[in-house]
Amino acid sequence: MTIYTLNKYDFKKYLLAELPDTRQEELIFWKKTIPMPVDLIYNIFDFRGELFAKYIDHIGAAYLYMHMLKSTGKAYRTEMETQPTKSNRVKETSLRNHFIEGLKDTDIRRMMGEMADILMLSGYNPEPERFLEAICHEGKKYKRLYLPKQMREIITRYNPELLESIGLSNWDMYSNVVADVLKIYRMGFADAFSGIFNKLLEFIIRHSGSSTARGNYSSAAGLKIIQDDAGHALNEPEPIYGRISDGSIWEPRYSNAKSAYIINKHHPFIHLLKSNSYNSEEIIREFISSLAEIENETIRDTERLIIENLRNDLSRKLRIKAEEFMGSLSK
């Protein structure tokens, strides 16, 4: 079984492994035929504090709304099929009062506390106004809200009847909520958001029992979310050193039908890299300075375009490598 660490880079790897019809091409994440910037996947992970808080709000609002319907003798199953809806705005006052009264029940607070705990969300506090916002949300209904096994088990302990009205099929309700939080309404993205968020729930829940999850940082919601701070070294093969006939620092080659390279062990810059006289930032700065100098001194447009393309391609490749490296450092 693949071991993942609680960071956005491994979350992306988890999606690629677990979500059907996904792939990554350079900095584009594909869900079926929908291309998204990979940064959007990272944003969903980084905004999980706010997304999870709203997720718990919706479950709590559904819980208390159903309780209100049952207490008035209404056919609650039929009306629950229409929830949430913005038409609830016309009865804001009565709903607010019901939520205020309902939150005095220690059971619902305990239930929501368990949900916050399993989602590694610290400082979540159920409030009537948050519930009111949730029950007035316009979009897909609670019967299409995704409930992982662990969430169903929590609800079963406190109000099993609620599972007859929420989380029944499709599991794509949360696409609109993600779009609202990120303020992204691009055509087609919503279809991908629901699947990504559902996998985010699973990804976090599988880490919630980890003894290494100790660090905290503030989320976009102003809440605290627990992050795994375990550290592991990157496991990379040793570089190949040799002699290069034209004196270059490196030379590309193929090994076992894969792209590889050889490093010129006789080049002074390699000696500089291996020395302890300079830190890595100074060395990289000199390397970039030399590249920039060559580009600035190139006069011919055709040659300059080649160098610009190389700079763009190199920057993109190094970004991908850096993300993989940072993800591996957390393991």
pLDDT of 133 reads: 96
Pair (77, 198) in one structural domain: yes
Helix axes 175-182, 48-71, angle to 10 degrees: 130
| Domain endpoint, select from 195, 228, 261 | 228
| Residue 213 in this model has a pLDDT that exceeds 70 | no
Pair (140, 193) in one structural domain: yes
Lowest mean pLDDT among 1-10, 44-53, 144-153, 284-293: 1-10
Q: Is residue 9 a part of any domain in this protein?
A: no
- Give the pLDDT confidence of 73-116 residue by residue, as tens digits: 778 889 999 999 999 999 999 999 999 999 999 999 999 999 99
Higher-pLDDT residue of 217 and 143 is 143
Count of structural domains, the chain: 2
Q: Is residue 120 a part of any domain in this protein?
A: yes
| Domain endpoint, select from 196, 228, 260 | 228
Q: If we measure between CA atoms, which residue out of 132, 140, 164 comes closest to residue 65? A: 132
Give the tokens for residue 15: 């999606």
Taking residue 78's Cβ as centre, other Cβ atoms within 10 Å add up to: 10
Higher-pLDDT residue of 182 and 221 is 182
pLDDT of 317 reads: 80
Pair (96, 182) in one structural domain: yes
pTM above 0.75, yes or no: no
Pair (52, 139) in one structural domain: yes
| Residue 311 in this model has a pLDDT that exceeds 50 | yes
Pair (300, 153) in one structural domain: no
Pair (62, 142) in one structural domain: yes
Pair (245, 194) in one structural domain: no
Range of the domain at 253: 241-329
Q: Is residue 291 a part of any domain in this protein?
A: yes
38 CB-side CA count, 13 A: 21
Q: Phi/psi at 225 (nearest 5 deg)?
A: -125, 140
Q: Is residue 256 a part of any domain in this protein?
A: yes
pLDDT of 148 reads: 96
List the beta strands (DSSP E) in the chain. 22-25, 28-31, 34-37, 121-122, 213-218, 224-228, 241-242, 250-255, 258-264
Pair (221, 148) in one structural domain: yes
Q: If we measure between CA atoms, which residue out of 153, 149, 154 comes closest to residue 202? A: 149
Pair (53, 113) in one structural domain: yes
| Domain endpoint, select from 179, 196, 228 | 228
DSSP per residue over 92-121, as a string? HHHHHHHHHHHTT-HHHHHHHHHHHHHTTE
pLDDT of 227 reads: 52
pLDDT of 209 reads: 65
Q: What is the mean pLDDT of residues 39-64?
A: 95
Q: Is residue 68 a part of any domain in this protein?
A: yes
| In contact, 27 and 19? CB cutoff 8 Å | no
Q: Is residue 309 a part of any domain in this protein?
A: yes
- Give the pLDDT confidence of 147-168 residue by residue, as tens digits: 999 999 999 999 999 999 999 9
How large a percentage of the chain has pLDDT more than 70?
Answer: 87
Q: Is residue 18 a part of any domain in this protein?
A: no
CA distance 208 to 6: 10
Pair (286, 220) in one structural domain: no
Q: Which helix (H) or strand (E) holds 297?
A: helix 280-297
Q: Is residue 34 a part of any domain in this protein?
A: no
- Give the pLDDT confidence of 215-246 residue by residue, as tens digits: 444 444 555 565 544 433 344 456 788 888 78
User: At 12, which amino acid appears?
Assistant: K
| Residue 297 in this model has a pLDDT that exceeds 80 | yes
The contacts of residue 6 (CB under 8 Å, 6+ apart) are 204, 207, 210, 213, 226, 227, 228, 330
Pair (192, 64) in one structural domain: yes
Pair (189, 265) in one structural domain: no
